[in-house]
Amino acid sequence: MNVLSVENLTKSYGDRLLFENIQFGIEKGQKVALVAKNGSGKTSLLRILSGQDHADGGTVSFQKNINVKFLEQDTAFDPEITVVEAIYQLAGTALQKLAEYERLVQEPNTPAKVLEDLLGELMELDSWQKEQLLREVSSALKLPENNQKIKSLSGGQKKRIALAACLAQEPDFLILDEPTNHLDIDMIEWLQEYLSASQLTLLIVTHDRYFLNEVCDSILEIDQKKLYNYQGNYTYYLEKKALQEAIDQSQFEKNQNTLRKELEWVRKMPRARGTKSKSRMEAYQNLKESNTREKAAPDLKLDMKMSRLGSKIISLDKVNKQFDTQIILKDFSYSFKVGERIGIVGKNGIGKSTFLNILMGLAPANNGTIERGETLVFGYYAQHDFAYDKSQRILDLVKDIAEFIPLADGSLVSASQFLERFLFPKSQQHTFVDKLSGGEKRRLYLLTILIKNPNFLILDEPTNNLDLPTIQVLEDFLASYKGCLLVVSHDRYFMDKIVDHLFVLKGEGEVLSFTGTYDQYRREALLEELPTKKSPEIAVPKTEKSSKQKPKNPVAIANLEAEIQKLEADRDTLALKFNQTGLSHEEMRQNGIALEKINELIAQKTEQWLTWASETL
């Protein structure tokens, strides 16, 4: 039975039709990915399903009493609230009630009946279980300090807060729009495992192909305003799509031959048209229209000319960089060579972007020497969106950089022709830049970098918000790129295809140089745990911490099981006391605190039991 049914859904913005009369269903427990080119309506469809936008026609029906949560690409927060306040605002009734209970328990004048009623609600809502999940998620996503103000956080930190609060609610149906953006690789792998093991129903937009392949069992694709359903993972989707495209191309070529014959007949047709002539004319027109629709959309073309690169590129000798107590680089030395393809790996906040800025001279080193070649032309594709005038049109923005652009074969194309190669047709080129989708803006940003013919490309999270076809074309372009390439990316698939050398930022200024791909690095177990500041627990009382040491024999596991059973019995006995009459307010308060601590100990020891049990398998 479908938990979501979509019938004949149509959406357009002005005269731009995104999709028309699409329909699909998602069953309970399915994990579905939505793929499409940028600007095809992926985010619009998610917003319609979540009730944040409306369709022009059609229906969206969820199963009754289903809990649906939607994680947008960007969540709006009050900048003046703290991290913990933001989490509890988003985390749903169960955790909000728990926060209220914790506050009231500490107030001596709270009526006993209020605490008793609230405790009953908490038990019904499984609030302590959700709190334990929030703690686990918060630790995995390395949330900032509880008391930090939202206004002091980066976009990535805000995204992780929203994701943690969303997961902690344990929704029945989860809708995620690019959840892996701003996560480091360890966080992505944790999220991948978490969603794979979960029983929830999932609809996700992501460009992470490893993630798609491991998590999703179905693929929905919006292509040329229609929707196609593939019942399999990303590998299955690629195989079936390649087969379908081959069939479509064969049919297209067959239709082309028929069209040529029909065109010859039309040209020779006598002026006096009878019924047969008219019907044949109609058949010709229908075939012509059909072939126009079947023809594949144009592909992105990246074949820019590269500026000449001399033998001297960048040399660094004993470079040091430190912010207060954080050491980014310590006595780092390296000389870049022509054609090198290096990936930079490290946890969020360890200094990857600072390292890039030092290389380009955008940030100073504390000491050491950096020499750059005279022929060096940087092309820097940053994480953040590029600056543009909101009143500027697409074509004018490109013309401001260059009226004519040289290609790899020595030819010149106009700014308009260059835009067409980047899939901005003439009909769209007079659109205001601000009207583009997030992915289209990133594609335009990439154009503004490559148009300057750089010979040293620095790409900081280049796959964020790019669609899969664009990423694949970018990979092909970079594979044949003759200049130097430096890439920071959490996209494991992209890194494995593009780079053959890694700089691993390990913290405290240490940079490990590794020859090979990221996958080789992981498989050889060279990626150690990078030192990071432990994420705080989220508004919970301090309790005894359970040991994570592996037991030497099954007796230890059995003893732990007995401990958990005794704690559960104590919890049930304590919960019954709330039904007794004649308890004073102070007794109610103390019982509440004791119950809270017991629930936390049960959660911790259960987690310990699961760890020990899994290690003995």
Residue 201 bridge partners (DSSP): 173
From CA 573, how far away is CA 23, in angstroms rounded? Answer: 53
Contact 336, 314 (CB under 8 A): yes
Give the pLDDT score at 16.
87
Helix (H, G, I), strand (E, B) or coil at 31: strand
- The burial of 65, by beta-carbon neighbours within 10 Å (0-12 exposed, 13-18 middle, 19 or more buried), is given as exposed
- Compute CA distances 124 → 103, 120, 129, whole Å: 19, 6, 11
Give the pLDDT score at 267.
60
Contact 594, 571 (CB under 8 A): no
Residue 7 bridge partners (DSSP): 59
Q: Give counts: helices (H), strands (E), the chain.
A: 19, 20
pLDDT lower than 70: segments of the chain: 251-253, 255-300, 524-555, 576-586, 588-589, 613-617
Closest CA to 49 of 2, 6, 3, 1: 6
* Beta pairing, strands 218-223 & 226-230: antiparallel
State how far Cα 19 lies from the chain centre: 23
From CA 391, how far away is CA 368, in angstroms rounded? Answer: 44
Helix (H, G, I), strand (E, B) or coil at 404: strand
Closest CA to 344 of 563, 490, 450, 177: 490
Give the pLDDT score at 102.
84
Percent composition of the chain: helix, strand, coil (DSSP 3-state, to 5):
45, 20, 35
Q: Which residues contact 208 (CB under 8 A, 6 or more apart)?
A: 180, 188, 463, 490, 491, 492, 493
From CA 398, how far away is CA 404, in angstroms rounded? Answer: 10
Helix (H, G, I), strand (E, B) or coil at 336: coil
Q: What are phi and psi of 397, to 5 degrees?
A: -60, -40
Residue whose entry in the numeric block shows the structure tokens 């008793």: 116
Q: Which amino acid is at 511?
A: V
**Mean model confidence pLDDT for the chain:** 83
Contact 327, 384 (CB under 8 A): no
Q: Where are the beta strands (DSSP E) in 164-267?
A: 173-177, 201-205, 218-223, 226-230
In terms of phi and psi (left: phi > 0; alpha: psi -120 to 50; beta: otherwise), the region of 545 is beta
Give the pLDDT score at 613.
65
Token pair, residue 499, equals 């780079």
